[in-house]
Structure 1
Amino acid sequence: MTSEQKMSRMALTAMVVGGMVGAGIFSLPRTFANATGPMGAVIAWIIAGTGMYMLARVFQALAERRPDIDAGVYAYAREGFGDYPGFLSAFGYWIGSCIGNVSYWVLIKSTLGAWFPVFGDGNTAVAIIVASVGIWLFHFLILRGVQQAAFINSIVTVAKVIPILVFIVLLFFAFKMDLFRFNLYGGDLTAGLFEQVRATMLVTVFVFIGIEGASVYSRYAKERKDVGWATIVGFIGVTCLMVLVTLLPYAALQRAEIAGMRQPSMAGVLESVVGPWGAVFVSVGLLVSVLGAYLAWALICAEVMFAAGKSKDMPKAFAKTNANGVPVVAMWVTSIIIQIIVITTYWSRDAFSLMLNLTSATTLIPYFLVAAYGLMIAKRGETYAVRPEERKRDLVLAGIAVAYTLFMIYAGGLKYILLAAILFAPGTVLYYIARREQGKPVFDKTSDWILFGVIVAAAVYGVYGLATGSISI
């Protein structure tokens, strides 16, 4: 990797912002209004913001203390807990990112569906065909080179933040305190405040996914310390945007009205304030934003599989690159999986919500393992010969991050854990191939056999639930 190909501090920050500002932020008004009012929303953002900030600080600390570990998200889990948990972390992060990419295509087609009914809510036959064309256009763009794609992402990041800022400014001018007061505790919602907050938890995870964008690309950073800087600056900026996008609509419309809007609900909110041009303006911004986020996440998907192939946790074929330095096998497999999942959305009642929640559930597992690894090295004092005074601080940060990720997994509910297990169980075939290539036993620890058994049992129960209708998608 030559110095010309390295990414600057601003390019890494753009990867964080580009990864986080995607489909989620444009869907926040309706998603939150379905569950709670401003009070519940504020509590949810405090929990999510604190937890994710702690997680961001863990990523920052690990980037500085373990600069030898690249593609951090999955590699930290492997370092701390062994080969099979490391594989599960890589696979969970990868499959979660693939599902997240599908949600982008669903939202693009749902946005177009406001003007072209043939797209419906983003999961009609025509929508699926158009999304499929998009998947493969992006696939071949990325194969032309990661740096070219990262440059496009930096431009798109600027272009997509502008409509969000305009939305916030216009909603400030339309602020009605009496409406905000009426909506404060959810208006006519019957659920208690705790249940209201819990119902928003997976959404907050989804919109924060991408916080580790700079960590995944650590091997491209000009300076190692830029990874931590980009993570924190990107996190603070995007959090402010998301909180404002959630809260301001409550001062323009009744909660029930916002909850009844089609996605992307940000377009409907602005239309109600300024007229039809508002919906067009936000929709164009969304299309730019989501296509940019798709580019960032397709890159991240391939990068994680490439790193896992290189470290032999995935079949070695994933470590192959083309003449442009792009992990070509990882990219092909990623695009094929995204294509298959896009086709399955045809049978989903609310494809966008399903993809959003399933992405959060699968990604929380690697997040939990990263936080636990941060806690582990702080407790043992590993790497703390340098700057030992930071150890106590890092213990607190990692401890809160572990508690937060565990609470999020609980808040998401059993349904998404079972659906995630249905993906993890067959995914273990890739681990089997990788171990066979190295002439190693598939599982060399009793704990790995137990973990695999639990995943298979959960997957069987999940499939039974789908077959009998007790689990609906």
Structure 2
Amino acid sequence: MGQQRQLGLWALMAAIIGSVIGGAAFNLPKDMASAANSGAVMIAWLITGAGMVMLALVFQNLTLRKSELTGGIYSYARAGFGAFIGFNSAWGYWIASILGLVSFIPLLFSTLNYFYPIFGEGNNLPSLLGGTLFVWAFHFLVMRGVKEAAFVNFITTIGKLMPIFIFIIFLVFAFHRGIFFTDFWGNGSFSWTLIMKQVKDSMLVTLWAFVGIEGAVVLSGRAKRHRDVGTATVFGLLGTLLVYMLISILSLGVLSREQLQALPEPSMAYVLAKIVGPWGAVLINVGLIISIAGAMLSWILLTIEIPYVAAQDGMFPRSFMRENRKNTPIVSLWWTSLITEAFVIIVHFSASTYQAVYSMASVAVLIPYLLSTLYQLKLVKTGETYLNDKDKVRDGLIGFLAALYSCWLLYAAGLDYLLMVSSLYLAGFVLYIPMQLSRKRKLFKGQDWLVALTISGAGIAAIGMILTGNLSP
């Protein structure tokens, strides 16, 4: 049975806001302060805002010019660069989304520890058991139908935004210019070398804050009106960008950078408690629990869609196309939940933190982002879908800036995370190679060999370094 077009503009915007504003917003004061001083934080948000606007415009443009490609990020990579690259985009986005789901678990239970002090930092045994319960509770909720899950997500999106808006209002009144401008650039004086290092160190934080902005694109096949996809993407981005900038910048005018760095998670709760007292921490912690619940639901909806669409193109096993009577991609959902559970267990035994898991998710999703920008550049070069040079020049510039931003983020991520993520991409070969052989297709064509050798070399090196203790997941 094909996809049913059930989602309107507001549901698509809720899918974006629900997946973008998850746990990241509630820990932004600490995460940004840990990476940069006030001046560098502002520069980081300007770069991130400009880069993400370019990415959103790429997604908007591609949905309009290639409306037949309803698989979003995966479809763009496959249409532009062939089956192998398309498979890697689908696999990478799927694994990145699963890691995103997993990252919510330690943050959720470290938050619950505020009310029930048995969960520690969110990676002990009670957290593992609770995380397992959450994974499967959401599994059975999504089984009831994508439309029904999207409605629940819409309600939780409203619930999560209310404490954030209250937090911002109190920050405005508590903001002190003296605190904000103390050691504005760091190290007592302005230095481009220091500033760029701080900006670079904050890039994975700001990227993670926006992962999910492509949510409407991924769900485009279920949109009632295709034009709503681009609109939801752009307005969802601008709204979340404003919220994020206010949270992180205003917090630096309430507590010093050193004080913010020392806060427990979620840091937003303790900033508000400093202003209004203990009830502020209670409000934010309750808001975060609602937020994570909504974000997990949004992420599951996005995560199960990619294998479903990839299976329709023969890139994933045909079984992934199977839906239940509620039109939920049921095989994709089961595999997503099982792999999520496996990663939850790995995180528990490796004692990985929320920051470590979301950093891996951010790097893994960068490859599909970059491939989407390169596809736009390819369309501009070939002139496909273009009727005049003015549009080509505009979209070429947007695509170039978006690609440049994506490459900058890969550089900012650092070699360790790139190696760890390459091992996850290498794992996809276990699915790709048998499937291609069973259908008597060539494994690699042309430049595919170079890509395959790069992934293999980096992935094998990463696995060796992990086993010898020289690389920590």
Distance 2:308 2:80 in 1: 20
Question: Is there any run of 5+ residues in structure 2 with no aligned partner, and where?
Answer: none
SS at match of 2:118: helix
For the pair 1:86 / 2:63, whether they are aligned, the reply is: no
Change (3 A) 1:295 1:3: closer
Q: Which residue of 1 aligns with 2:223?
A: 221
The match for 1:398 is: 399
TM-score by length of 1: 0.96
CA contact (8 A) 1:315 1:431 kept: no
CA distance in 2, matches of 1:361, 1:4: 32
The alpha-carbon deviation at position 463 of structure 1 amounts to: 1.6
Other structure's SS at 1:119 match: coil
Distance 1:322 1:346 in 2: 32
The aligned residue for residue 288 of structure 1 is: 290
Per-residue CA deviation, residues 49-101 of structure 1 (Å, 9 max, x unaligned), is 11110010000000000011012111100110111111110011110000000
- Output the CA distance in 2 between the equivalents of 1:472 and 1:3: 41
What is residue 62 of structure 2 aligned with on the other side? 62
Question: What per-residue deviation string (whole Å, max 9, x for no partner) do you get for residues 424-471 of structure 1?
Answer: 11211211233234321222x142222212111111211222223322
In structure 1, distance between residues paired with 2:50 and 2:340: 32
CA separation in 2, counterparts of 1:85 and 1:308?
12
Give the equivalent residue in structure 1 for 2:103.
Answer: 103
Where does residue 200 of structure 1 map in the other structure? 202
The separation in 1 between residues aligned to 2:151 and 2:433, in whole angstroms, is 37
Q: By how many angstroms is 1:388 displaced?
A: 5.3
Partners of 1:365 and 1:84 in 2: how far apart? 14
Corresponding residue to 2:353 among 335, 351, 357: 351
1:271-350 alignment to 2 at 5 Å?
Answer: 271-350=273-352
Kept in 2, the 8 Å contact 1:69–1:76? The answer is yes
Write out per-residue CA displacement over residues 202-249 of structure 1, whole angstroms, 9 at most, x where no aligned residue.
111111111111111111112211111110111000000000111111
SS in 2 for 1:324: coil
2:371 maps to what in 1?
A: 369
Alignment partner of 2:182: what SS? helix
Question: CA separation in 2, counterparts of 1:388 and 1:225?
Answer: 23
Contact 2:71 2:220 in 1 (8 A): yes
1:171 is aligned to 171
- Residue in 2 aligned with 1:139? 139
Task: Provide the residue aligned with 2:251 in structure 1.
Answer: 249
Check whether the contact 1:183–1:255 (CA below 8 A) recurs between aligned residues: no
Counting matched residue pairs gives 471
Tell whether the 8 Å contact from 2:4 to 2:222 is kept in structure 1 after alignment. Answer: no
For the 8 Å contact 2:462–2:471, the answer to whether it is kept is yes
Alignment gaps of 5+ in structure 1: none
Give the letter for the 1:393 counterpart.
R
Asked if the contact 1:315/1:437 (under 8 Å) is kept, the reply is no
TM-score, length of structure 2 as denominator length: 0.96
SS, match of residue 428 in structure 2:
helix
Could you report, residue by residue, the CA deviation over 1:342-381 in whole angstroms, capped at 9, with x for unpaired residues?
1111234552011110011000000000000011101221
Q: Distance in 2 between matches of 1:145 and 1:347?
A: 33
In structure 1, what is the equivalent of residue 51 of structure 2? Answer: 51
Equivalent pairs: percent with the same residue?
38
CA distance in structure 1 between the partners assigned to 2:169 and 2:147 by the alignment: 34
Helix, strand or coil for the counterpart of 1:90? helix
Q: Which residue of 1 aligns with 2:416?
A: 415
Aligned to 2:9: 9
Contact 1:100/1:359, CA 8 A, preserved across alignment: yes
Structure 1: 4+ residue segments shifted above 6 A? 1-4, 187-191
Contact kept, 8 Å, 2:4 with 2:327, in 1: the verdict is no
Q: For the Cα contact (< 8 Å) 1:3–1:222, is it kept in 2?
A: no
